[in-house]
Amino acid sequence: MNSIHIPAVRRFGALRAAGLLSVALLTGAVGCGAGDAAAPPDLSAPPTNVRWQPFQGVPLPHTDQGPSAETDGAATGFEHTPTGAGVAAMVHAVRLSVADDGQWSNIAAREVVPGPAKDEWAVNRVQVSISGPADPVYAPRLLGYRITEYTEQRALVDVYSEYSDNSKAVNHTAVEWFAHDWRLRLPAPDSTARPIEPIDELPSETVKVEAPT
């Protein structure tokens, strides 16, 4: 993309802020000797059997790695793998951003790690009203993700989206393995980092999970 239309990226960022491995770690040893080490987790393994289902007008992925259940608007049940973490980051970030007034509290309760960041987000969300599907002008279309750090308990995941004006953005997210599932860890209340930034192109390491147009 040759130019970035910042308004859509900023609008969605503002909405998010206001509104905002089965240890399958591929631990099969290569041999039986005492010095054998477990294989590292594959951070680039794509999700399988990807289906797209709309939530508040935004297509979200449903895969073999999760979510396996939806209850009162909340999507849960992600595989304890890097792929499960990547899919969870995409799903949680969007659902929390576009949930309407009757959905957001249950989504926050089931998809977000408890703590001061979640509490502050809830205080801000009460002051905003979302009564219908996301405006197509500002609704993100998911393009994929890239895991920049990973352990069994925590993953840093960059989620990539495109908007109706052809601008692209990266949402820097963190998910944690909490209550037997991957949940979104919101930025600390005193954080000065920008969670959403405009980009020109997707990194080559992106795991592409591209929503239909």
Residue 160: inside a domain: yes
Residue 192: inside a domain: yes
**What integer pLDDT is reported at residue 105 of this predicted model?**
96
**What integer pLDDT is reported at residue 13 of this predicted model?**
55
Report d(CA 160, CA 130) in Å as an integer.
Answer: 23
Residue 31: inside a domain: no
Quick check: pTM over 0.85? no
86: its two tokens? 């990547």
Domain boundaries, position 77: 6-21+47-208
Residue 38: inside a domain: no
**What integer pLDDT is reported at residue 138 of this predicted model?**
83
**What integer pLDDT is reported at residue 36 of this predicted model?**
52
**What integer pLDDT is reported at residue 84 of this predicted model?**
98
Residue 82: inside a domain: yes
**What integer pLDDT is reported at residue 213 of this predicted model?**
87
The answer to whether the CB of 24 falls within 8 A of the CB of 109 is no
Q: What is the pLDDT along the chain (213 residues), one digit of tens a residue?
A: 444 444 455 545 544 544 443 333 333 333 444 445 788 999 999 999 999 999 999 999 999 999 999 988 899 999 999 999 999 999 999 999 999 999 999 999 999 999 999 999 999 999 999 998 988 888 999 999 999 999 999 999 999 999 999 999 999 999 999 999 999 999 999 998 889 999 999 999 999 999 998
Exposure letters 163-176 (e unless 16+ CB within 10 A, then b): beeebbbbbbbbbb
Query: Which residues in the chain belong to E strands, given as ranges?
Result: 51-55, 58-62, 69-71, 74-76, 141-150, 154-162, 168-177, 182-184, 196-199, 207-208
Residue 28: inside a domain: no
Residue 121: inside a domain: yes
Residue 30: inside a domain: no
**What integer pLDDT is reported at residue 173 of this predicted model?**
98
* Domains: count for the chain: 1
